[in-house]
A = this chain, B = another copy of it.
Amino acid sequence: MKDFIWNVDTKILFGKDFLKDLPKEIKKHGDRVLITYGGGSIKKIGLYDKVVKILEDANIFYKELGGIEPNPRVKSAREGVEIVRGNDLNFILAIGGGSVIDLSKLIAAATFVEADPWKVVIGEEKIKKALPIGTILTLAATGSEMDAGGVITNPDTKQKLGFGSPILKPKFSILNPETTYSVNEKHTVAGVADIMSHTMENYFTLGDDAYLQNRMAEAILKTCIHYGPIALEEPENYEARSNIMWASSWAINGLLKTGKSTNWSVHPMEHELSAFYDITHGIGLAILTPRFLKYILDDDTVDMIRDFGINVFDIKPTDDKFLDAKKAIGALHQFFESDLHIPMTLEEVGIDDEHLEEMAKRAAEHAGGTIKGVKELNADDVLKIYKDSLF
């Protein structure tokens, strides 16, 4: 196990009845609030009205930034920074899923930077200070409610890139599984695939002796496999929604990577797909992951992938390790396709071979020349994985 520091201090208020604690939690950190949200679903489910009433009853001053897109764009951060500066705001309350929270993190950091917010994303401006953030989560997927990072898209440059700093971790997050009842089928399964992908990015590593962390990862994967199809069938099943929601936070809050060298592989490949085609991130991850595993299957990785099949999908081990590993990859593909009804080819989500080469080149470039995950991947490797994912 490698040396590490664990220091996650986000306070989680999980359940049906914590909205009432909002003023108390906000007032620990600020009193002039920027509320951020997305396309209006929080208005449809009545959450917006509830939050606004609670803030008004508590005499908390607030301004709003709505309309934050999925694959959130840097221009929303520019708007947010202006509102914060123009009104002397000192706290951000993000109401939504990962996109809203990620964008809010960028506003929090960019407020203290002279340059354009995009300079923060690309790392030209260091994050030294940030506004405190609280979140009310409405989608179980990205884990942004309990982690230090975000992912922002710049359509002008066709870039979708991650950024982060420990000071961006939310001070508190309110997780009410009922707020995810209205999440549609597509975003429910994309969320489950996203959680599983975060888990697998942390799980598939070699030689780190992090047995506990790998069993923890399997616990999260089993939870997704058990409850994903139930949430799809019964959107208002509290047991399913609550287990998936709590799993989303733990897949990426840092526990699974403690003691390990984790460099992610599938996310950098997927980010190019959604930067170019604006597809749903979780769907892209589901399509790429089985092809990625097939591509890296070799003498080094066969035991790792085989163990995944045995421990997560109850594959019966045989004497043929490679056969077992292939069965594991097949089981994952099958789960996404048959149990979660995810379109499992790039063609089905509207991606053809036109930009594959450019995307592959950029994926490698953005990762510093090659993607240095469990197996190092150059642009040519990425292209092969993309091509295998087409049909």
Contact = CB atoms under 8 A, between A and B. Distances in A.
The count of identical subunits is 2
A377 to B, nearest CB: 28
A287 B84 CA distance: 61
Given A215-B218, A216-B216, A219-B212, A5 B16 contact: no
A212 B243 contact: yes
Interface in A290-311: none
B14 A211 contact: no
A209 B242 contact: yes
Given A212-B223, A219-B219, A5 B11 contact: yes
Nearest to A21: B5
Contacts of A246: 1, 212-213, 258-259
Contacts of A1: 14-15, 177, 238-239, 242-243, 246
A55 interface: no
B14 A258 contact: yes
Nearest to A244: B212
A18 B151 CA distance: 31
A128 interface: no
Contact of A259 (B14, B213, B218, B226): B14
Interface of A: 1-9, 11-18, 177, 209-213, 215-216, 218-220, 222-223, 226-227, 238-239, 242-243, 246-247, 250, 258-259
